[in-house]
Amino acid sequence: MKDRTYTADAAPGDHATVAGWVHEIRDLGGIAFLIVRDTTGKIQVKLEKDEMDEELVETGLDVSRESVIKVVGDVKEEPRAPTGVEVVPESIEVIAAAETQLPLDPSGKVDAELPTRLNNRTLDLRRDEAKAIFEIRAEVLRAVREAFRDFHATEINTPKIVATGTEGGTELFPITYFGEEAFMNQSPQLFKQLMVGSGLERVFEIGPIFRAEEHNTPRHLNEATSIDFESAFFDHTEAMDVCEAVVKAAYEAVEENCEGQLEALDLADEFEAPSGEFPRLTYEEAIQRINATGELDEQLVWGDDLPTEGEHALGQDVGEHYFITDWPSEIKPFYIKDHDDDETLSTGFDMMHPRMELVSGGQREHRYQRLIEGFEQQGLDPDAFDYYTKMFKYGMPPHAGWGLGAERLVMTMLDLDNIREAVLFPRDRQRLSP
Ligand code: ATP
Ligand code: MG
């Protein structure tokens, strides 16, 4: 619509065409108001029953809420209008009428449960709060891309249909690929590693990962978006530096550019980008601190994975983003390198928000022989990963990287209760459509 003016741009004195959804109809007797909403906001359209064309007034009064209309008229100053201006219409056209029974109330006056909202995402995203989450998510991804470019990383896209998974078959979705078994990829791990040995050296990818995890939790999806980074000639500490900078850049961009969205989410006052350095705790310190909180029934010992309640207790104790480093080698994946001076210690790290894990990373095993042994110890057939391991014979530099869940980043940043709030169309145990 070439001559369309966004409601936010309509200024007194304009002769304007506004188009959008009927948010509200207020009939006060001799006068009535239509509130028209578009992506930028809302504007009042005035209907004076005795003074305006009868047909025009009738069209305006008969239209159902959430119908799409086009209004042409003069924009006038009106201090009593919600935005200080109103449109005095010459014409009102109903472009797409909405049924009067809606599955969801987009004005937000009637609350809806999450499943109802997800089943009707289109209507749900007419609400400012829901829309704000996805505008912020877009800003996060924009800022993350820019931060990676500042680090001279090249954006890549790796295949999502693969012959073999990263860490074996347990969490993979199988598919049929021209009569052969294939899988949806659970991580770009192996492919991004292959790129550090290419001429690109330093890469990032923002793309889907597929996890056939059976559990149904507020922080797991079966299709998630992973923000991945990998760099040649990096050790785990350098990878952590980039991780911290990228997460901070996302927060800072939202703080700077998403004021209206934060207001819509009622977060404007409390939102704060992390400023100090993220503390780096070793795994040993982490289990000691968890044990000291007394929150767990049983004390953690060396080699235990951190249970969810332990992560919560530690998160409360630390109170900000932090890293856990120096994990026992046996509980980190085989492709993560051990410390050169102590092979019981892994260079793997996790970056945590007080509420949950956001990132896993580490320095990778780049020595061919060690890598093959790792596959065997894991019970995986190295031959199945030949496309990957082979490249380690032709000059693979030391390298490190990490993966960050985009939805978990948005979820924790905006204090959302459920990760599904941060995905347009979530995939989980119960949900394959829409
Ligand atoms: P968790 O232990 O919390 O299930 P993970 O250790 O299995 O996570 P990784 O394989 O380390 O996850 O993936 C790196 C990051 O990707 C995680 O820290 C998380 O932010 C994100 N991620 C992984 N799996 C999921 C999932 N099922 N849903 C949403 N995000 C995920
Ligand atoms: Mg992890």
Q: Please give the average per-residue pLDDT across 161-185, as a whole number.
A: 87
CB atoms within 10 A of CB 175: 13
Ligand in nearest proximity to the CA of 165: 1
380: pLDDT confidence band, cut at 50, 70 and 90?
A: confident
Residue 226 CA: which ligand 1 atom is closest? Answer: 16
Domain with CATH 3.30.930.10 in the chain: 122-279+320-422
Separation between Cα atoms, residue 359 and residue 356, nearest integer Å? 9
Q: What is the pLDDT of residue 172?
A: 93
Q: Pick the atom of ligand 1 nearest to 356's CA.
A: 3
- Hey, what's the torsion of the CAs at 269, 274, 280, 281, to 10 degrees? 0
Residues annotated as catalytic are: 211, 213, 219-220, 357, 360, 408
pLDDT digits (tens, 9 = 90+) for 302-333: 999 999 999 999 999 999 999 999 999 999 99
Question: What is the pLDDT averaged over residues 400-420?
Answer: 98
CA–centroid distance, residue 405 to ligand 1 (Å): 6
- The predicted-structure confidence for 213-259, as pLDDT tens digits, reads as follows 998 999 999 999 999 999 999 999 999 999 999 999 999 999 999 99
pLDDT at position 41 over 70? yes
Cα–Cα distance between 67 and 238 in angstroms, integer?
A: 54
**CATH 3.30.930.10, applies to 122-279+320-422:** yes
Q: Is the pLDDT at 169 greater than 70, yes or no? A: no
Residue at token pair 């924790």: 412
**pLDDT (average), residues 373-392:** 92
Question: Using one digit for the tens of pLDDT, what is the confidence trace for 75-91?
Answer: 999 999 999 999 999 99
pTM attached to this predicted model: 0.96
Give me ligand 1 centre to Cα 370, in Å: 26
From atom 4 of ligand 1, which residue's Cα is the shortest distance away? Answer: 220
Q: Which of 171, 185, 186, 211 to mutate to test the pocket of ligand 1 (most atoms within 8 A of CB)?
A: 211
For residue 264, how far is its CA from the centre of ligand 1 (angstroms)? 29
Ligand at shortest distance from the CA of 219? 1
* Side-by-side strand order, sheet with 161-162: 161-162, 180-184, 173-177
CA distance 165 to 183: 7
What does the CA dihedral 87, 92, 98, 99 come to, rounded to 10 degrees?
110
Residue 168 in this model has a pLDDT that exceeds 80: no
Q: Summarize pLDDT for 107-148 with one digit per residue, the tens.
A: 888 889 999 999 999 999 999 999 999 999 999 999 999 999
At 109 the pLDDT is 86
Mean pLDDT across the stretch 258-282? 97
Going by CATH, does the domain composed of 7-96 fall within 2.60.40.420?
A: no
352: burial class by Cβ within 10 Å (0-12, 13-18, 19+)? Answer: buried
Q: Give the three-class secondary structure for 357.
A: strand
Q: What local confidence, expressed as pLDDT, does residue 379 receive?
A: 87
Is the pLDDT at 368 greater than 80? The verdict is: yes
Judge contact between 366 and 399, C-beta under 8 A.
Answer: yes
pLDDT of residue 170: 66
Torsion sign, CA atoms 331, 336, 244, 220: negative
Q: Best of 209, 243, 321 to mutate for ligand 1, by most ligand atoms within 8 A of CB?
A: 209
pLDDT at 110: 87
Q: Please count the other Cβ atoms lying within 10 Å of the Cβ belonging to residue 263.
A: 14
Helix (H) or strand (E) holding 412: helix 406-413
Tell me where in the chain the CATH 2.40.50.140 domain(s) lie.
7-96
One-letter amino acid at 155 equals E
